[in-house]
Structure 1
Amino acid sequence: MDISPQAAFDEWSRPIDVYLRRDRTGNLFSYVSFDFRIDSETVFGFGTPDGKWYRAKQRYEEIVEGQRITYILTIKCRHKLVYLSTVTISFKETPAGCVQIYSEQGTSFDNEPVPDHLQWYAERLFGKNFSI
């Protein structure tokens, strides 16, 4: 990325307004953002083409200004936990610019497929025309 680690961090930590839209594959997304501090949460919902609706919650565990953000991600469908993970997003300056590292370690439950939540993260940082 041709931006500084601090600028990348600032994009990740900016508030999100409540809105509803469809992503590039037709999935319906809605977002609600809360305070971006330790022990605070961001909650968002998203639907899939097969009609399932998911509620995801990010609970922030560590935020190091300009360096990294760590949170616990839970995804539920009809109040049933289907996915749990620890996510760290770190930002590092290199001669070529800022490198963003996304690390996620998680598990799904009861043979549920892991919902595609990564597109939301990419679009949040890079804009709605970005895909991973």
Structure 2
Amino acid sequence: MSSRSVTHTTFTIERRYAAPPARVFAAWADPPTKRRWFAMPESWVGKHHELDFRVGGRELNRGGPPGGTVHTMDARFHEIVKGERIVYAYDLLLDETLISVSLATIELRADGDGTVMVFTEQGAFLDGHEQPATREHGTGLLLDALGAFVDGAAVEA
């Protein structure tokens, strides 16, 4: 029998974007728009993304490096308050191995002409497959990509 472990963690990342809340919200909600900033590396193969942005809807993001491990994010939306809040739970798998289960909350609030976004994740990291600090760092990079996109792109609200 293999050794099993779980590490529980919570992290919060705050970002300020020059774009208004409606634009930031749309970047999470619109499938073609989200694919533009939430993309996997260009070199990855087998890329698949689907987004059914509604309460009870699913987001699936899958792909991996050529000949390497397939990364899968499988999410369900639990609450959506247009322009203000998104709550979803997601599983992260490497090939068929479940490495974590997380609850994520995105809060948006107007700040002058821009938006303050607070992203909070509560996670159960399983069997040492990923360290929470690595996830927090990767999430920060994604939120930076979101900022670059919404601050410089015309996204339909």
Question: Structure 1 length normalisation: TM-score?
Answer: 0.75
Alpha-carbon contact 1:16-1:31 (below 8 Å) kept: no
Are the structure 2 counterparts of residues 67 and 122 from structure 1 closer, same or farther at C-alpha, using a change threshold of 3 Å? same
In 1: Cα distance, 2:124 partner to 2:142 partner: 19
Number of aligned residue pairs: give it.
124
In 1: Cα distance, 2:142 partner to 2:63 partner: 9
Deviation at 1:65, TM superposition (A): 0.6
Which of 53, 59, 75 is the aligned partner of 2:70? 53
Structure with more of its chain in helix, by fraction: 2
Alpha-carbon contact 1:13-1:36 (below 8 Å) kept: yes
Which of 81, 103, 109 is the aligned partner of 1:92? 109
Secondary structure of the structure 2 residue equivalent to 1:37: coil
* 1:15 counterpart residue number: 31
**Coordinate RMSD, CA, aligned:** 3.0
Higher radius of gyration, 1 or 2: 2
1:126 aligns with 2:123: no
* Identity rate, percent: 23
In 1: Cα distance, 2:82 partner to 2:40 partner: 32
Alpha-carbon contact 1:61-1:72 (below 8 Å) kept: yes
Aligned amino acid, residue 126 of structure 1? A
- Aligned residue runs from structure 1 range 13-52, under 5 A: 13-16=29-32, 23=41, 28=44, 30-47=47-64, 51-52=68-69
Deviation at 1:16, TM superposition (A): 3.1
Are the structure 2 counterparts of residues 52 and 120 from structure 1 closer, same or farther at C-alpha, using a change threshold of 3 Å? farther
The structure, 1 or 2, with the larger RCO (C-alpha pairs under 8 Å, 6+ apart) is 2
Mark the runs of 5 or more structure 2 residues left unpaired by the alignment.
1-16, 150-157
Deviation at 1:52, TM superposition (A): 2.1
Alpha-carbon contact 2:104-2:121 (below 8 Å) kept: yes
Are the structure 2 counterparts of residues 108 and 61 from structure 1 closer, same or farther at C-alpha, using a change threshold of 3 Å? same
Aligned structure 1 segments of 4 or more residues deviating by more than 6 angstroms: none
Mark the runs of 5 or more structure 1 residues left unpaired by the alignment.
128-132
Alpha-carbon contact 1:16-1:33 (below 8 Å) kept: no
1:62 aligns with 2:79: yes
* 1:130 counterpart residue number: none
